[in-house]
Structure 1
Amino acid sequence: MYQGQLKSWNDRRGFGFISSNEVKSDVFIHISSLKHMQRSPKNGDVIYFDVTKQDDGKFRATNCRIQGVAFKNKPTNRRHKNNSRFLSKLILIAVVLAAVFIYQKFTLSTEQVENKSLTAEPVDTWFEKSQNFSCQGKQHCSEMTSCEEAEYYLSNCPNTKIDGDHDGTPCERQWCTGW
C-alpha cells in the first residue's frame, strides 16, 4: 500500500490526483475508491492507496483510505434481520402445526380402524338378532338366552322382572353388561 498527498480534487466531478514519492507520476483517484469513508477528500489529505495500471498506461488509485478519517458504519438492516427472524419463527410454527395435524389424522384413522374391528359383531350374535322371539311367559334374566331376547321381552311381553333399576336396560348383570 502506498502513501501520498491529495494534490488536487474536483468535488463536483468526483475525482482528483495524488502525488507520492513512491510512484513516478501523479495517480488518478475517483470518488468510488473512497465511498466507504465518512467524508469526501480535501486537498492536502494524506491518502493510502494501491495502484492499478489502466489500459491507457496511466495509474489509478484503488482501495483508498484517508488518514484520520473513519470508515462509514455499514447500516445494519435491522428490519431485514427482524423480518427474517419472524419468517423463520413462522415457518417453524407452520411445520410444527403440520406435524401435529398429520399425527392426529394418522392416530384418529388408526383408532377408527381399531374401533371398527372391536365393534364388529360376531356372526353368532347376528344370527341371534334375526331369530324370532315370542312371549313364552319368561319373567327373570335366568330364563333368557341373550341380551337381545331380554330386550325383546322388556319391550313386548307383560309381567317381566328383568329391569330392576328401570333404566331401560334389561339383565344388566347377566346379559346386557355394556362391554
Structure 2
Amino acid sequence: MDTGKRMSRTLAHWNDDRGDGFLAPVGGGPQVFMHVSALAPGSSRPLPNERFTFESVRDTQGKHSATRVRRPNERPHARTDRRRRSSERRGRRSWGPALFGLVAIGGIVGYAQGLIDIAPRTDAIVGAMPAWIPISRPAPARYRCDGRTHCSQMTSCAEARYFLAHCPNVKMDGNGDGDPCEQQWCN
C-alpha cells in the first residue's frame, strides 16, 4: 500500500465509544485504521458502508492508518491543508520555541511564588520591604467537616455556610438556592 497517495475505501466497522473504525476496499484486502481525529473538524459521524478518501501513513509498528480523511464530494479543509503545507515547507517542527516558552513561564511563576511566600514578617523587616509585595497566609480553619449534616446540628449561619460549601452529604439547603438553614440560622 503506497503512502501519500489518496485512496478510496468504505467504512467497514465503526466504534462510537472509541471514535475509531476500519476502512476496507470494495473487493476485499487489508483494512486501514481510521480515527475520528483524521476527519475534518465539524464533520458528521461516520456511517457504516460510507465511502471515504484518505491518505495512508504507517505508524511506528508498521501498520497503516488513514489521515486527512474526507468524503468524496467534500472539499479539503483549508486549515488542515494550510497546516500540512507549512509543515512540509519547514520540515520537522522544532521544540525549541515551545520549550523556551515553557521555561520562561516556569521562571515567571517561580519568581512570583518567591514574592508571595515571604513570611513571617516582623516589624523590623516590614519597614524595609516595599508595600507592593503581597503576603499570602492561609486562613485558620474555624470549622471542619465532622459528619454533621443537618441544620439542627449547626451553631451559626457561618458554620452552616462552611459545611454546605466544603462538606459532603449535607442536607441544609432544602430549596437549592445556596443559602443553608434559612429557617434556623440564615434568615
Task: Place the TM-score, normalised by the shorter chain, in its bin.
Answer: 0.3 to 0.5
Kindly name which structure, 1 or 2, has the bigger radius of gyration based on alpha carbons.
1
TM-score normalized by the length of structure 1 = 0.36
Higher helix fraction (1 or 2): 1
